[in-house]
Every structure is written in C-alpha cells, then in structure tokens.
Structure 1
Amino acid sequence: MFTELNTFLGFDHLKPPKGQFVLISDSLTDDSFLIHHFLSLYIKGGWKVCLLALAQSFGHYNAVGQKLGVHLSQAREKGQLRFIDGLKCSLQAYTCTTQEEQAQNPLRCLCDKKATLRPLYDQVKTLVCSEEGVLEGPTLLLVDDLSVLVSLGMSVKDVADFMHYCRVLMCPTLQSQGAIVSLVHKDADVEDEENSTLFRHMAYHSTVHLAVEGLSSGYSRDVHGQVTVTFRNVQDPSQPQTRMKTLQYKVEERNVSFFAPGTSRAVL
C-alpha cells in the first residue's frame, strides 16, 4: 500500500473509506496502480471486497497483488474477495449457444437490447450483502473499469443507472459501511462524447475524485505524473463544496511513491 497516499487521503487499512464514492480517472497515462492500491488496502485490513473486473483477468490482479504483499487467491478462497469476471461474461454474451446460458449471464444485455444491467446489479447485491440484504462491516465495490461497458455498446444512461443503484446499495450516506471505487478513462486527445458524458456524470456524483495525468512538461525519469484529488461535500451545503490538492508520483517495481509538487529527490 502507498503510505503517502493514505496519509494524504486520510485512509488506511484500519480505517478504510466508508460512505465514499471514489472516482479514478486518467488522461494519457495509466492509473491502474490506484485500483491495486484500494484493492490491497481492503484485503490487508481484512475487509470484504467485490471486484467487478471488466478490463483485466483475475490472474492479472493476483500477480500484481503478490508484488504488493497481498494474496488474492487466498482471499478469494476464504470468501473475503468476491470476483465477477466481466471479461469472461462479456465474451460469453456473444458466444452463448443456449437460452439457459444466456439467461445466466449478468451481461446478456450486450447482445440483447431489451435487457438491462439489472442482472449485474443483482449479482453485486448478492455478493456484498447478507441474507437480510445488508452490508456486514466495511465493504468495497471495485469497478475496473466503467468505460469498457460504453465501449461494448451500453448506453451512458444504462451505465449511469447501474452505478446509481450501486451507490444507493453501498454508500447512500457518509455513515454507510460500504464504499465504491470506480475507474473511467478521460483521454484528452480522444473525441469520445459518450465516454466524456459518462465521466462528467460520475465526477458529479463522486465524493472523492483522483485525476491522474502525465506531466505537461513531458517525460521525467524521477516524476511520472501527478494526481489531482478533489474532495466533494455532497451532503452539507453549509460547507465548502470542493477542496483540491495535488500530488506527484513515481512508479517503482513494488511501490508508488507520492510527494508534493517540486519535492522529488531529483529536485531536492
């Protein structure tokens, strides 16, 4: 886990984010290290995680997790980590040969325009809630990444509706036990109106937004990019609505170091 980032955000494995909708976005750079950070944060703390993986396989997350000292296979066997294989489901949506197979696929809406993402939501709810339909202790819904659904042909409205119901389920208030971390791509050099609309919608509803960008000055050996964090006060109109802070970072083999702008080792 990334200690400097935890201190910056006020989170750690003993005090995970509760009642928060954390949006991660990237522009012309790779922000996947933040996905692995939050995944490791919850697993190391002994908390529950439901990982909706639309962009990578379980093997990928497990390999990266081992570098961070987290054994996702063990967490999955114990039931601490619940994994929804969105990659497999999206492929099977187009290759199912029987109606029974299609009916069991939570992403059947990809090839059935009359269907919605409700089956996917129902699966998430089943995995994160007790038999009484409530969350038991801090629980994270991690979605990697929402942009894939739009790329596969889902409408922004359907994706936004899915996330709305997930927010109501996981984090309706800041006192809720649940939290959501989701990734959306926001490449400045790509004209994609649907994805831009999805990003704006998710950013509006997020309580914390981590925007990862490359350096405007170009490549640097000692600074790989910056993260601008926006904290949004969505429940108390009497308080300032937004606060913004910026960190720069450097990706290393088994860690990512964060520091205030202009304070990298190369500068000092």
Structure 2
Amino acid sequence: MAASLCIIFSRSISEGVNLTTAKERGQLVFLEGLKTSVNVLLGDGQKSEQKNPLQFLSDTSSDLKVLYDFVRDSLTQPSTSAWKCPVLLVDDVSVLLSLGVNAIRLLDFLHYCRATICSQLEGNMVVLTNSSDDSEDEENELLVNYLSHHSNLILQVEGLATGFCKEVHGQLRITWKGSCRLKGEKDVVKDYQYRIHDKTVTFFARGTSAAVL
C-alpha cells in the first residue's frame, strides 16, 4: 500500500493535464509513498542531511512533523514564490493508519496543513480516505468524521447495493456543506450514478442509465 502526496498548483493546471509534464514544468511536487517508505524501512543506515518525509515509519511513536515540513517547505521554496492557490492532494490518507500512525497525530498533521494551505495561502486540500457503514475501526471513523466536519465539499463513491450491472458501475453522492453557503442554508445533496469506460467516466442521474431507459 502506498500513500501518495502531491502538491499541485491550480493556476496553470486544468482537467486532463499530463501530470508528468506538469512535474517537469515545476507545477507539481510529488511524493511517491511506496518508494519513499521502502527507503526508510530498507535503508542502508547512512545518514543524510535531508530528512525523509516518511521517517516516522521507522518510529510509529513519533509525530508527522517531518512530513508537514516537507509540505510547507515545498510551498516556500524560492522557485515556488510565484505559485498561487496551491492544492494539496493526499491519496490515500487512511493508509497511514494502516502503517501504524496514531490517529491523533494524523489529525494534527491535517490541521497544520489546513492552517498553512487553506488559511495562510488561500489554497485547498483534497483528501481521499476509505470508510464503510459497518466498520469497527474507531481510528478510521475518527479520521472520516474529522474530514467530514472540516470539508466544504464531500464526494462519497460506492458500488451499487443491488450488485453488478453492466450499464451502471456505482453511485456518487455530492454534499455541499451549508457552512460554506449563506448563513442558515442547509447542506445541498445530489446523487448520481456512473459508468467507467476505457479512458473516461460517464455520470448521470439515478434511474436514467441505458439499462433503464
């Protein structure tokens, strides 16, 4: 399992962009979780002046300060001084819990990232996690509740409760939190279904798939 950490700047990046090209242009900073974690767990023991962002994997009792420092420093390098409205993508943050990271320390990391990126730099965070209604993992549910509480937009993707269907592969619920809208407004919830193609995904209202019409 790999936790991938990306810092993308939305000013020049649009839908369908090649991320490899974006990285070459200096628009993307990417931390490959699998490769980086292997360097920590199977390292040769030689000390380096630059700390590994996933150094905490060798000591699960430590916090995620080194990982946060990586995020912050990536945004404050001289070469990134012209970047505006950064977007931090974390895929998949729940993997860190599976690797033994304490839930409270993980929430502290997310809190400091929000303070830096969302408040200070007026950017955004996109965080992927996994959850299920019958889950008994208290730490994961604590993470999901934290993200739900602090998010302005929530996308919940799941398979069909009725099982396999050739024309419909799953359903998507989009929730716009009332706190980011006019005071007193309730959350706005919309449900869609989707079908996955070779290179694209088609979204449509429930009950309007080719299998029904």
Number of residue pairs the alignment of both structures matches: 208
Q: Could you tell me which residue of structure 2 aligns to residue 120 of structure 1? A: 67
The alignment status of 1:244 with 2:193, answered yes or no, reads no
* Alpha-carbon separation, structure 1, partners of 2:180 and 2:203: 29
Task: Select between 120-129 and 202-211 the one with higher mean Cα deviation.
Answer: 120-129
> Which residue, out of 211, 214, 230, partners 2:156?
211
The answer to whether structure 1 residue 107 and structure 2 residue 54 are counterparts is: yes
Instruction: Give the CA deviation at 1:77.
Output: 1.0
Q: Tell me, in whole angstroms, the C-alpha distance in 1 between the residues paired with 2:49 and 2:172.
A: 41
* One-letter identity of the residue aligned with 2:179: V
Normalising by structure 2, what TM-score? 0.84
Q: Answer whether contact 2:60 2:100 (CA < 8 A) is retained.
A: no
Instruction: Verify the 8 A CA contact 2:9 2:87 in the aligned structure 1.
Output: no
Superimposed CA distance per residue, residues 155-181 of structure 1 (whole angstroms, 9 cap, x where no aligned partner): 1111111111111112128xx641111
Measured after TM superposition, the shift of residue 220 of structure 1 is: 0.7
Contact 1:215 / 1:226 at 8 angstroms: preserved in 2?
yes
Deviation at 1:241, TM superposition (A): 4.3
Once the two structures are superposed, the pairs formed by residues 91-170 of structure 1 within 5 Å of their partners are 91-98=38-45, 100-101=47-48, 104-113=51-60, 115-129=62-76, 131=78, 136-170=83-117
Q: Partner letter of residue 81 of structure 1?
A: L
- Alignment partner of 1:47 is 2:13: yes
In the alignment, the residues of structure 2 paired with residue 41 and residue 215 of structure 1 have an alpha-carbon distance, to the nearest angstrom, of 34
Q: Describe the SS at the equivalent of 1:229.
A: strand
TM-fit CA distance, 1:103: 6.4
CA drift at 1:186: 0.6
Contact preservation (8 Å) 1:129, 1:136: no
User: Could you tell me how far 1:267 is from its partner in structure 2?
Assistant: 1.7
User: In the aligned structure 2, how far is the partner of 1:80 from the partner of 1:41?
Assistant: 6
Distance 2:47 2:182 in 1: 49
CA RMSD of aligned residues (A): 3.0
Q: What are the superposed Cα offsets for residues 161-212 of structure 1, whole Å, 9 maximum, x if unpaired?
A: 1111111112128xx6411111000134543222122111111111111011
Q: Which structure 2 segments of 5+ residues have no match?
A: none
Contact 1:110 1:152 in 2 (8 A): yes
CA contact (8 A) 1:231 1:242 kept: yes
Report the Cα distance in structure 2 between the residues aligned to 1:241 and 1:252, rounded to whole angstroms: 34
TM-score by length of structure 1 reads 0.68
Q: C-alpha offsets along residues 86-140 of structure 1, whole Å, 9 cap, x if unaligned?
A: 2222222222232624961111112224532111111111223454997832321
- The one-character-per-residue Cα deviations of 1:188-242 (angstroms, maximum 9, x if unpaired) are 4543222122111111111111011111111111111111111113356823242
Instruction: For structure 1, list consecutive stretches of 5 or more residues without a partner in the other structure.
Output: 1-34, 49-67
Give the fraction of aligned pairs with identical amino acids, expressed as a percent.
38
Higher alpha-carbon deviation: 245-254 or 234-243: 234-243
Contact 2:8 2:87 in 1 (8 A): no
> Does 2:198 align with 1:253?
yes
Distance 2:75 2:184 in 1: 32
1:262–1:86 distance in 2 versus 1, CA, 3 Å:
same
Secondary structure of the corresponding residue to residue 148 of structure 2? helix
Structure number, greater radius of gyration: 2
